[in-house]
Amino acid sequence: MPQEREITQTLRTDIDRDSQQIQDLFVRMLRIKAVNPRMGGPGEGERADFLESFLKKEGFSTTRFDADDRELGKKRPNIMARLEGRSQKSLWFIAHMDTVPEGSRELWNSDPFEPVVKDGKITARGAEDNGQALVSSIFALRELRRLDAKLPFNVGIWLVSDEEFGSDYGIKQLLAQKRFRADDLVIVPDSGTPKGDEVEIAEKGLLWMKFTTKGKQVHASLPSKGLNARRIGMRLAIEVDRFLAEKYSAKDSLFTEQLSTFEPTKAEPNVANINTIPGLDVSYFDCRVLPRYNLDDVVSDVQAVVQKHEKSSGANITLELVQKEPAGPTTPQTSEVAVLLSKAVQVTTGLEPRLVGIGGQTVGNLFRRDGIPTAVWSTIADVPHEPNEYSIIKNLISDTITFAAIPLLA
């Protein structure tokens, strides 16, 4: 116990002293627009150059892998820095450089790409998702280097691309290249709670479905001549919603949302005027499915519902899978990564975190599917992708302390 208090006090003193420098780097990074290029942005290149330059100035050797995005003709950067420890395995912090677009500008109180520091917060696109954790990870690694501690294992960071659009040019390629060992410890600070009192060890499967209904467009005063794709599409959505909720109704108390969820979300525009019956209806479902269920079974069941409605309505209906990411195995509660992370949170914050599952997906799910137990944690306001997204400066600093404490408490 005295040693734990001493470690915590040393880290707190050092990192509090560096808090302005941490904040300054954070603000400078957020000014560099890094919207995912598959969402119409410039990509992660300039931000990656900035971060790599900072790491090198701090004395780190970096490894960089630029994935080749052939579709867009862009290089998608992924950067690694690591401290050597006494064993072959590594503790990795994984943070992503890309952000989603700002959305409707009129909903922002300030320029999304000109950070505003006010009332203990930093407001900008990407401040919480995933900028806060990225900067905390970097400065935790810097603190460990400055302490010159004898680390029980290697400790490193990967700053990755493409997380916001499926990680095809980020973690998926790094895993395919076998850049991680089966006994590595992986922490993904890309989800959390305002108190920092939950460590995530499980995620649901993700399924995005697109339904395209083709009927016959006619004047609204002559409906018998046409086939109303909008009505058929709405009826289909209601039936899919009802069927899935009834069949896949099991609960799992590990998860913060205990049920599988099947949510109708986006609908594409059809006709521009009121007095035309649409001949095309396109809508989407976002499904978050408990690990006990097989996503292939869900898709097969939905396809049966589609065929039934196609036959009864006379419309042509197609089902397209926009994204499908099965759930990986739950990280055991007794795993080294879950135990070490929980201990560090408890020692540095005084909280005893609960181990939970979530409906969102992080790259932690990709590691679990690859057989590497992974834990997800950070202290966040929980406003990702929202207008006026922000990070609380106190969380930025306190999470840096917790991250640095993990290998020192091992």
Of the candidates 226, 227, 221, which has an alpha carbon nearest to the alpha carbon of residue 313?
A: 227
Instruction: Report the CATH architecture of 2-203+329-408.
Output: 3-Layer(aba) Sandwich (3.40)
Res 149: pLDDT: 87
Active site residue 46: no
pLDDT in tens, 292-314: 999 999 999 999 999 999 999 99
User: Which residues touch 278 (CB under 8 Å, ≥6 apart)?
Assistant: 215, 217, 228, 229, 230, 270, 271
Please give the radius of gyration of the chain, using alpha carbons only, rounded to the nearest integer.
Answer: 24
Any bridge partners for residue 358, and if so which? 203
Q: Using a pLDDT cut of 90, give the percent of the chain over it.
A: 98
Q: What is the DSSP string of 259-308?
A: B-EEEEEEE----SSTTEE-SEEEEEEEEEE-TTS-HHHHHHHHHHHHHH
Q: Using a pLDDT cut of 70, give the percent of the chain over it.
A: 100
Q: Which of the following is catalytic: 163, 164, 184, 281?
A: 163
Three-class SS state of 356: strand
- Cβ pair 314, 168 in contact under 8 A: no
Res 2: pLDDT: 67
> Does the structure show a pLDDT above 90 at 188?
yes
CA 177/CA 165 separation, integer angstroms: 20
CA 28/CA 18 separation, integer angstroms: 16
Q: What is the CA angle 88-168-75, rounded to 5?
A: 90
Of the candidates 362, 370, 33, 7, which has an alpha carbon nearest to the alpha carbon of residue 199?
A: 362
Active site residue 163: yes
- Cβ pair 263, 287 in contact under 8 A: yes
CA 74/CA 80 separation, integer angstroms: 20
Q: Is the CATH number 3.40.50.620 carried by domain 205-325?
A: no
pLDDT in tens, 322-376: 999 999 999 999 999 999 999 999 999 999 999 999 999 999 999 999 999 999 9
Band (pLDDT 50/70/90 cuts) for residue 393 is very high
Q: Which of the following is catalytic: 44, 52, 98, 128?
A: 98
Res 52: pLDDT: 98
Band (pLDDT 50/70/90 cuts) for residue 245 is very high
pLDDT in tens, 39-72: 999 999 999 999 999 999 999 999 999 999 999 9
pLDDT in tens, 127-153: 999 999 999 999 999 999 999 989 999
Look over the chain and give the mean of its residue pLDDT values, rounded to a whole number: 97
Res 1: pLDDT: 66
Domain ranges of the chain: 2-203+329-408, 205-325
Res 101: pLDDT: 97
